[in-house]
Amino acid sequence: MRYTRAAIATLSLALYAGCATTVVDDQPTLDRALAAALEARRLDAAADHVLAFRDGLLREATDRNRLDRVGRAAAAARTIADLRAELAAIHRGRLDDEGRVDLDLGAFLLDGAEEEIRVAGLDEEFLRALVPDAAQAEFLAAAGPPSPEMAARLLHEAPGWFRQEPPLPAAAASADTRLLRAAGHRTRQAAAFASRRGTEALALGLPQGEGALAVGRAAVERSDGIAKAFEEAAKSRDDGAGGFAPPLGREPFAALLRSRHGVAESPEAVEAWGLELLSQVTAELDALAAAHFPGKTWREALEVVRDDHATPAEMPAEAQRAAEEAREFCIARGLVTIPPAARLGHIDLVGEDMARSYPFAAYSFRLSTPEGESGRYMVSPGATWMNAQQREERVRGNCRAWTRVVAPHETWPGHHLQFWVADHLCSRLRREAMTPVFVEGWGLYGEWLLDRHGYFKAPGERLCVLAMRAWRACRVVLDVRLHCGGFTPEEGIEFLVANSALTRDAAAAEVRRYMSNPTQPFSYAWGWREILRLRADEEARLGASFSERAFHDRLLLCGPIPFPFVRRLFGYGE
């Protein structure tokens, strides 16, 4: 049943005017339906407010580079309280099951925002000790034009700023590159605010205007050397670390698991499961090698498989063909619904910088073409900065069997289909609450699904399927060990080479990405695990009436949200 906007608007006015009638069981069906429609609209509006907060004020409140981060965090806390009140005012009983999940998803995003702000504040005391003059200048970031009191304080305090010798305090020796860069940013911001406020004070004709401008400009001149010292220290530390980002630390890592992905397990439990999976997959690899590559270990067998690879010039066409074959297989077997509008894709190349951390492939969002929306499947044939050995390792790593397994992950039934469904059929809230645990879990599940249905027939292809699974198990272990203590980047590279048989070039690129994106690497295998767990529950519940296609369609329609909410949409718990 559908209702006109006018009818809904009339009911809205009545409710907000304070003359709403309580919804009871014997209330006319039309009234109940209109009340439910209104509540759904209120939920949509509240969701938009939550998402706007995440895109704006939350970024400011968690940006360690900002001079006024503490002030923005306080403003964010007030906004979170207002948003919680807005969500609480929505009548839960008038929402359908999906609406109630979305209502709780909004609250989950606010919980995550509070956690992000808390984690960002863990370094605040250290940063203020690192750049005390910048901390003293925070009052200059207040909203509005400068008052006489602000100008007087600037005139009085700024002459003492940025005069420390040597330029870097002793605390800088223990700061990681993120904090050193934040110290440099805050130093420059403080000086810029001093100059700006002095200029504004003079423009307003304040008595202290000329003096405030003079001390502000002097602060800029003195601050430049200090800011550069922080920036050069960060660059030097980066160079010494081989260009790898610093580890996140256990507490922030655990917070991300909870607040961004809805994962309740500890980092140690996640790592233990990754090691268990790696052991299982390694046993499968050993058995496959013994059966089809007599006398060779699975690593030696994989080297033989890698001998069959395309040239860099041939790789785009090879990848396109592999993607289209996977798409047609899914359609022919009825594994998942692929609407005609979601069947278009093309190949792009990974860029020069991206090639440093993406040795195989990636998916990028669709482009509008004369034929329709075309998914961008990006391949990595090499880069101009590579030497001959790196180029050879890159093309061998992207051998034909490997490409045939990667293509379904990135295109059909993987990322291209899932993002098409999310963008066209899911609410904005579901799209914005995206977690890679769902996104990458679905990609790995797609590899598993096609393998289960016999798509990968050649022993070399099956070897690549399992080698990729071992690689994803390694990612779980490394995500924890690299960020929570236990492994240096070099040890991570060696672990990958030994346990997933990646080439050293690919392993180095992978670890560089892991260091820059904590909690993303674990998401592939963990999300696959969650989908398999949900599938097993559905098979047990439905028995003979279980339909793979219906399960996959329903799963994608949930949107790429944390799995506790996905499970609720399937009816498993409130």
The CA-based angle 337-342-348, given to 5 degrees, is 135
Instruction: Note whether residue 421 is domain-resident.
Output: yes
- In a domain? residue 164: yes
Assess whether pLDDT exceeds 80 at residue 326.
yes
Backbone φ and ψ for 215, nearest 5 degrees, come out as: -70, -30
Cα–Cα distances in Å, from 157 out to 162, 167, 222, 354? 11, 19, 14, 46
Q: What confidence tens digit (pLDDT) does each residue in 80-106 have?
A: 999 999 999 999 999 999 999 999 999
Question: In this structure, what DSSP letter does residue 13 have?
Answer: H
311 and 276 in a common domain: yes
The pLDDT value recorded for residue 425 is 95
**What is the share, in percent, of the chain residues with pLDDT greater than 90?**
87
Are 226 and 259 found together in one domain?
no
Q: Which domain holds residue 226?
A: 131-240
- 399/464 Cα distance (integer angstroms): 10
Pick from 108, 124, 140: which residue ends a domain? 124
Give the model's pLDDT for residue 28. Answer: 66
Q: Is 492 a domain residue?
A: yes
Q: For residue 249, is it within any domain?
A: no
Q: Tell me, yes or no, whether 299 and 190 share the same domain.
A: no
Q: Residue 472: inside a domain, yes or no?
A: yes
| Dihedrals phi, psi of 347, to nearest 5 degrees | -105, 135
The residues pairing with 379 across neighbouring beta strands, listed in sequence order, are: 349, 361
- Mean pLDDT of the 125-129 span: 94
Report the pLDDT value the prediction gives residue 12, as an integer from 0 to 100. 38
Same domain, 105 and 232: no
Q: How many domains does the chain have?
A: 3
92 and 190 assigned to the same domain: no
CB 319 within 8 A of CB 404: no
Residue 246 lies in a domain: no
143 plus 291 within the same structural domain? no
DSSP 293-329: STT--HHHHHHHHHTS---TTTHHHHHHHHHHHHHHH
If asked whether residues 74 and 109 sit together in one domain, one would say: yes
Using the predicted structure, report yes or no on whether residue 2 has a pLDDT greater than 50.
Answer: no
According to the model, what pLDDT value does residue 191 have?
A: 96
pLDDT digits (tens, 9 = 90+) for 426-453: 999 999 999 999 999 999 999 999 999 9
Average pLDDT of the residues of the chain: 93
What pLDDT band is residue 5 in, cutting at 50, 70 and 90? very low
Q: Which of helix, strand or coil describes residue 150?
A: helix
Residue 268: count other Cβ atoms within 10 Å of its Cβ. 12
| Residue 391 in domain | yes
Please report, for residues 66, 71, 126, 143, 188, the alpha-carbon distance to residue 193 in angstroms, rounded to integers and kept in the order given.
Answer: 12, 15, 22, 12, 9
What pLDDT does 569 receive?
Answer: 97
Q: Are residues 323 and 213 in the same domain?
A: no
Would residue 574 count as lying in a domain? no
Q: Radius of gyration over alpha carbons of the chain, in Å? A: 28
Q: How confident is the model at residue 362 (pLDDT cuts 50, 70, 90)?
A: very high
pTM: 0.91
State which of 240, 271, 286 marks the end of a domain. Answer: 240
Residue 144's Cβ-count burial label (10 Å; 0-12, 13-18, 19+) is: exposed
The residue-averaged pLDDT of 151-157 equals: 96
What is the C-alpha separation between 405 and 35, in angstroms, rounded? 50
What confidence tier does 11 reach under pLDDT thresholds 50, 70, 90? Answer: very low
The last residue of one of the domains, among 191, 218, 240, is 240
Question: For residue 398, what are the contacts with CB-CB under 8 A and spacing of at least 6?
Answer: 309, 310, 315, 359, 360, 361, 379, 380, 381, 406
pLDDT (tens digit per residue) in 208-251? 999 999 999 999 999 999 999 999 999 998 887 788 999 999 99
Q: CA nearest 99: which of 45, 151, 62? A: 45
Burial 352-377 (b: 16+ CB within 10 A, else e): eebbbbbbbbbbbebeeeeeebbbbb
Range list of H helices, 56-174: 57-61, 69-88, 97-120, 124-130, 132-136, 148-157
Do both 474 and 499 map to the same domain? Answer: yes
Q: What is the pLDDT of residues 19-47, one digit of tens each?
A: 343 444 545 676 888 989 999 999 999 99
- Does 353 share its domain with 447? yes
Residues 366-402 have pLDDT tens digits of 999 999 999 999 999 999 999 999 999 999 999 999 9
* Rounded mean pLDDT, 109-134: 95
For the stretch 474-499, pLDDT in tens is: 999 999 999 999 899 999 999 999 99
- How far does Cα 438 stand from its chain's mean position? 11
* Spatial distance between the Cα atoms of 185 and 435, rounded to a whole number of angstroms: 30
Whether 516 and 400 share a structural domain: yes
387 and 415, same domain (yes or no): yes
Average pLDDT of span 149-172: 90
